Amino acid sequence: MQTLRAQRLIHRGSATAWFLLTSSMLIAQGATPSTLAPASTPAHQIFDLSVFVVAITGGIFLIVGGLLALTLYRFRARKTDPLGEPAQIYGSTQIELAWTVIPILIVVVLFLTTARIIFAIQDAPKPHTALDVTVIGHQFWWEFRYPKYAVITANELHIPVSSDAAPEATFLKLTSADVNHSFWIPQLAGKTDLIANHVNTMWMDPKKPGLYLGQCAQFCGSQHAMMLLRVYVDTPEQFDAWMKNQQRAAPRDSTVEAGRTVFEKQACMNCHTISGTAATGRFGPDLTHLMSRATLASGAMDNSPANLRQWIKSPDTFKRGALMPAMQLTDEQLNQVTAYLETLK
């Protein structure tokens, strides 16, 4: 939960504010992004490769460090040593061959092992049952499209869990609407860049349900650090229920018609989409099921009525540099729009 102090810090553009907010959110969620806890096949392969590399380089460090320590101790200066320069020994074919050939062999082994893992991940066959998701990076939020289901959402990706009995894989097409971004969920897969007018791909098959956190890993502007990722790995039943909810049109509640009118008559509808209304904008996130998300502004804060109202009033309070403008609404209009958006579940 954000504090007033953190909000004041972020208003001044302080990096300390970002640390306070994101750290508290990660702690509250009980999860921290880590490559040391792989939960899908690509992440496991990357983790195994990293362990192999660390083992080899660690062995080299121990051997070189041990020989250096032994040499420093064995041939240290003593009071009984004669004065003057010690005897100089030049050239040893065997030693020179050893320190040339051995490093070359090590580099070749690391290269071949890394190439094998890269090709194993990139060339993995796509199952006919795979879930396709198109990911579009924006400044500073994520757009997720499910072509098979005609569903568009933002910032929180839902995918099904995979098991030996019912293997499920999710294949992502990655691109950007503006500058370069980088999609990274450490526990599920490696980093992959999102580049405008170019499509990259990646896949994941998480084995355990739960929430996995990620981050844009490519500097993309002033709010790069607050372009957070949340991936929900659902059981088949949870995923089906979530998808059916996302396919529903936005609910129509007569008690909040005033807020809907404000939303449609202001510039909100130029940037956002809400199904079943005149709002069809694509510059901002789709808000059809806004309240089904746990966070606002790509993970910048909890999705609560108070935060939602403050976000509409002054986005810079939470995310300085965000491209969403302050709409200069009156207090009454703010209350009406907030009440309307709260019905979008």
Q: What percent of the chain has pLDDT over 70?
A: 91
User: DSSP state, 323?
Assistant: S
User: What kind of fold does domain 249-341 have according to CATH?
Assistant: Immunoglobulin-like (2.60.40)
pTM: 0.82
Write out the two tokens for 46. 């990357």
Q: Which of 45-59, 228-242, 247-261 has the lowest mean pLDDT?
A: 247-261
pLDDT above 80 (res 124): yes
User: DSSP state, 273?
Assistant: B
pLDDT above 80 (res 325): yes
Sign of CA dihedral 283, 285, 286, 288: negative
The band of 96, judged by pLDDT with boundaries at 50, 70 and 90, is confident
Tell which wins on pLDDT, 24 or 201: 201
Domain with CATH 1.10.287.90 in the chain: 41-78+87-122
Please tell me the predicted confidence (pLDDT) of residue 31: 59
Q: Which residue has the tokens 């504010």?
A: 17
User: DSSP state, 196?
Assistant: B
* Pairing mode of beta strands 228-234, 295-296: unpaired
Q: Strands, E, within the chain: which ranges?
A: 131-138, 141-146, 151-154, 156-160, 170-176, 181-184, 192-194, 200-204, 210-216, 228-234, 295-296, 301-302
40, 206 Cβ separation under 8 angstroms = yes
Nearest to 147 by CA among 171, 165, 176, 127: 171
Q: If you average pLDDT over residues 311-328, what whole number do you get?
A: 85
Nearest to 158 by CA among 246, 290, 272, 44: 246
Nearest to 218 by CA among 263, 173, 183: 183
Burial, 282: exposed, middle or buried (Cβ in 10 Å; 0-12, 13-18, 19+)?
A: middle
pLDDT above 90 (res 242): yes
The band of 75, judged by pLDDT with boundaries at 50, 70 and 90, is confident
Angle between helices 331-341 and 305-313 (to 10 degrees): 130
Please tell me the predicted confidence (pLDDT) of residue 117: 94
pLDDT above 80 (res 15): no
| Residue 66 Cα to chain centre, angstroms | 40
pLDDT above 90 (res 16): no
277, 265 Cβ separation under 8 angstroms = no
| Domain 41-78+87-122, second-level architecture | Orthogonal Bundle (1.10)
293, 304 Cβ separation under 8 angstroms = no
Maximum Cα–Cα distance across the chain: 101
Please tell me the predicted confidence (pLDDT) of residue 245: 93
pLDDT above 90 (res 236): yes
User: DSSP state, 315?
Assistant: G
Domain with CATH 2.60.40.420 in the chain: 249-341
Write out the two tokens for 248. 């529903």
- Rounded Cα gap, residues 127 and 148, in angstroms: 15
Q: If you average pLDDT over residues 285-301, what whole number do you get?
A: 91
Please tell me the predicted confidence (pLDDT) of residue 99: 86
- Rounded Cα gap, residues 154 and 141, in angstroms: 7
Please tell me the predicted confidence (pLDDT) of residue 94: 87
